[in-house]
Amino acid sequence: MDIRNIAIIAHVDHGKTTLVDRILHTTKVFRENQDTGELIMDSNDLERERGITIFSKNAAVEYKGVKINVIDTPGHADFGGEVERVLKMADGVILLVDAFEGPMPQTRFVLQKALQLNLKPIVVINKVDKPNCRPDEVHDAVFELFFNLDATEEQLDFPTYYGSGKNGWFNDSLTQSEDIMPLMDGILKHVPPPVVSEGSLQLQITSLDYSSFLGRIAIGKVSRGTIKEGQPISLMQTDGVKKSRVRELYVFEGMGKKKVQEVVAGDLCAVVGLEDFNIGDTIADFENPEALPVISVDEPTMNMQFSINNSPFFGKDGKFVTSRHLRDRLIKETEKNLALKVVDTDSADSFMVYGRGILHLGILIETMRREGHELTIGQPQVITKEIDGKKCEPYETLVVDVPQEYASKVIDLVTRRKGEMLVMETKGEMQHLEFDIPSRGLLGLRTSMLTNTAGEAVMNHRFSEYKPWKGPIPGRNNGVLIAKEAGSTTAYSIDKLQDRGFFFVDPGEEVYRGMIIGENNKPGDLVVNPNEGKKLTNMRASGSDGTVSLPPKRLMTLEECMEYIQQDECIEVTPNYIRMRKVILDEEERKRQQKRMSAEAV
């Protein structure tokens, strides 16, 4: 059967998953009366809540007698590890670009990976129905991007399609067509069939799946030869060769998998029955095994300390609370999350976890807490390196689109955090700004930027390179309000403390000594007692005993907490609560520690 393998790549929110929906509906994967909803491929709860793709997924459709394997990839820079490895399964890519925003930082990142793998690109300019869109300018910008990324003559001669995934049409010109058939025909015409070399079996494992019934499942593309059910094979790993046997074989069909007897070179398949395999391993011939080059993934740029929950509320909320639970879960995550690294520390209760960024680590923590884990996480730190005898740190390219009246505030915020402006241009009513900024400077920047631009700023960033250390970057300006003792907060106390700052807790919430309950209006931390009740007498005065009117507490998401905390603070994460606290809960002990550190510094 004729086969095409195509990956869909784009910046976050440019419409990849919506395009996959259209392909699935056009090729009649579902019954006419079947209610599928939207964003069919984003099946994970976290993906649906956040409206982003986190895990790459496969679907297979049949169009005009040709099987098309479609791979939906994440658009966020933090999940670049997912994109890099699944591109190995594709022979062509659809580069999706928003007709207003044009190529964004992540577009550049994934396109560069695709061009290096010599994949055939098709450019799709989406959302041409949006007001003030500029498809022609965007087409020129995409061509310029290809040129800057050293695309070959053949790659520069890319076909372009215009349309709207939401309205269900794509055409090779700006005139509206009936449906997405012109694009489907373009895939058959421009994407080459898989290139198959002669020789014995080779299949590189590029993705993992798990079934409680079948166990771990290896997914990859058969590069050459044929793989059959029951066939003995060699599993080529970095540290040696294991002999094994294929128990069951599946190919992708629609949204699911279909059991088959054999799979020929060029098709994607799922293999059941292998023990202890890793991503990047090669399934090869039993007699004459030959390995494929190991998949390389960009290194992590940030680390965080994960430890067991050691707060006074330990064990009240979660199922998994011991260091053994924490260790097993983190090791399990590294099997399928290539960009993640876990290292033991001096303490048996703590682990250092290395990842691509705040979102990458935040998704892991959010997933763990939903599974019932309790843990404490420290402040995110960037990973420094020594290059040519100099201390170097990771830098990122930061792109901000903001209404013109707020542009000066954005420039001021970024330059204070050691950012340098590279580009400033006008896009319609928006100002387009590009900066080079140390990764440290991005911690906490999103919150202050949204506050200063009335929520109008759209900010994106991606790792660029390591450069010399830029020196200290100012962190949070204000101190925090810390609970003096354990107990239940009262409206009376919080009302009396209103002029000290704003609160992260409501009346009636349980707090403990050393827990962060609000932000101080001034620099420096302040220990307060939020649990004091009103002294009652039997005398009443009309008007003075009215109900207390309090503003609602400020809700902080997990990522906002990660950006907010300082060196001596940490976050307690449980299935139902996210609490910020001091690492040392006792106030006297904290003061002694500060004195010791000051003495050492002198």
C-alpha span between 122 and 92 (Å, rounded): 8
Beta-ladder partners of 222? 203
C-alpha span between 401 and 461 (Å, rounded): 12
Task: From 230, 269, 267, select the one nearest 246 (Cα to Cα).
Answer: 230
Contact 65, 96 (CB under 8 A): no
Task: From 401, 468, 386, select the one nearest 431 (Cα to Cα).
Answer: 401
Contact 89, 7 (CB under 8 A): yes
C-alpha span between 482 and 519 (Å, rounded): 9
246 SS3 class: coil
Structure tokens at 562: 């990660």
Residue 45 annotated as binding site:
no
Query: Strand 375-377 vs strand 92-98: parallel, antiparallel, or unpaired?
Result: unpaired
Task: From 246, 327, 235, 239, select the one nearest 277 (Cα to Cα).
Answer: 235
C-alpha span between 23 and 181 (Å, rounded): 9
Residue 126 annotated as binding site:
yes
Structure tokens at 140: 């020129």
Query: Could you tell me which residues come within 8 angstroms of residue 373 by beta carbon, excluding any fewer than 6 positions away?
Result: 318, 319, 320, 321, 325, 326, 329, 573, 575
Burial classification of residue 164, based on how many CB atoms lie within 10 Å of its CB (0-12 exposed, 13-18 middle, 19 or more buried): buried
Residue 257 annotated as binding site:
no
Beta strands in 428-554 (DSSP E): 430-438, 458-468, 480-483, 487-488, 501-503, 510-511, 516-520, 526-528
Q: Which amino acid is at 96?
A: L
Beta-ladder partners of 58? 71
Residue 127 annotated as binding site:
yes
C-alpha span between 140 and 132 (Å, rounded): 17
Angle at which helices 181-190 and 16-26 cross, to 10°:
100
Residue 16 annotated as binding site:
yes
Residue 15 annotated as binding site:
yes
Task: From 409, 468, 418, select the one nearest 441 (Cα to Cα).
Answer: 418
* Residue environment code for 500-510, b if the CB has 16+ CB neighbours within 10 A, otherwise e: bbebbbebebb
Contact 392, 467 (CB under 8 A): yes
Contact 250, 257 (CB under 8 A): yes
Residue 13 annotated as binding site:
yes
Residue 190 annotated as binding site:
no
Any idea of the CA torsion for 251, 254, 256, 258, to the nearest 10 degrees?
-40
Contact 59, 252 (CB under 8 A): yes
15 SS3 class: coil
Beta-ladder partners of 272? 217, 248
**Binding residue numbers for GTP:** 13-18, 126-129
**Residues at the annotated binding site?**
13-18, 126-129
